[in-house]
Amino acid sequence: MLLSLSKAIEKRLWPYDHPLRQFELKQDVLYNLGRFADDLPIADLAHSNADDLGVLLHMNRTHGQALLTAARQFPAVTIHHELRPLSHDLLEVSLRLEKTFEWNDRLHGSSLPFWVWAEDHTGSQFLQFANVLLRPTTSNFRLDFVVPIKGSRPPSISIRVCSDHWMGAEDVLVIDLDQLVMPPASANHTALLNLPFLPLAGVPDRRLGVAYPEIASLNSIQSQTFWPIYHAQENVLLCAPSGSGKSTMAELAAWYVSLPA
């Protein structure tokens, strides 16, 4: 609502005015458009022809051609989507935004910013959002949203695309989730061991104390994973945030391999 109000002030138009008033059309064309075709979507006008639009306006072909040109240059984006469940409570929504209008450098400039966001079925909560730029050479744009599915599955989510500058240049796609199959919830994770921070001095290879003089003890993640990484001959996948010491654990595994048999 705030974005629509901001654009109305910028364009000096009422929010209920026809979006094609943003073009330099003659007043009689705009008047007849509002009188005879105010409820027709701009996409339908863009897929028509000059003769039919002239008849629709109760005017001639020249006026119909002017309206057709404006409709085809009105910023429009078509939304395509794919759903990829990642886990029992995470859903990836892969979007492809297709530009479906004719670019005019004088009207559109070098780029057009669009807001893209995912919202819940009530329209009251943002799940993800992004700002994208469409350029003259852009035919489509890909974007991935990962949205949480918590508790009972919502009936739907909505993807909304809205121009940052053009009034009425927006679209919404409601994605039905009733038929979506999510993976079952995994079993409980192994409980954390009740371990203190392990001192590096306890590692059998004394060279490690010389190699890592700044490390007195391992942190919580390293302490929990030290034994399978350093003492077991099995593959280990360690996933943790940046700066949590994963590289150090990989180096310790390399030190273990270098120990004499």
- Cα angle for residues 126, 161, 12 (degrees, 5° grid): 105
> Among 159-168, 177-186, 195-204, 230-239, which is the least confidently predicted range?
195-204
To the nearest 10 degrees (0 to 180), the angle between helices 27-36 and 61-73 is 80
- CATH 1.10.150 placement within the chain: 2-72
Closest CA to 166 of 20, 41, 45: 20
Condensed to tens digits (0 to 9), the pLDDT of residues 222-233 reads 888 888 888 887
pLDDT over 80 (residue 258): no
> Across residues 79-90, what is the average pLDDT?
91
- CATH 2.60.40.150 placement within the chain: 77-176
Buried b or exposed e, range 67-76, using 16+ CB within 10 angstroms: bbbbbbbbbb
What is the third-level CATH fold of 2-72? DNA polymerase; domain 1 (1.10.150)
pLDDT over 60 (residue 261): no
Buried b or exposed e, range 214-234, using 16+ CB within 10 angstroms: eeeebeebbbbbbeebbeeee
Condensed to tens digits (0 to 9), the pLDDT of residues 195-207 reads 888 887 767 667 7
In eight-state DSSP terms, residue 17 is S
Place of tokens 């003769």: 51
Give the whole-angstrom CA distance, residue 125 versus residue 127. 6
Tokens of 94: 């892969």
Calculate the CA dihedral of residues 61, 63, 69, 71 and round it to 10 degrees: -110
pLDDT of residue 64: 92
CATH for 77-176, among 3.40.50.300, 3.30.1110.20, 3.40.630.30, 2.60.40.150? 2.60.40.150
pLDDT over 90 (residue 179): no
pTM of the model as a whole:
0.69
pLDDT of residue 184: 84
| Helix H or strand E encompassing 201 | none
pLDDT of residue 131: 93
| Helix H or strand E encompassing 147 | strand 140-148
Tokens of 218: 């391992």
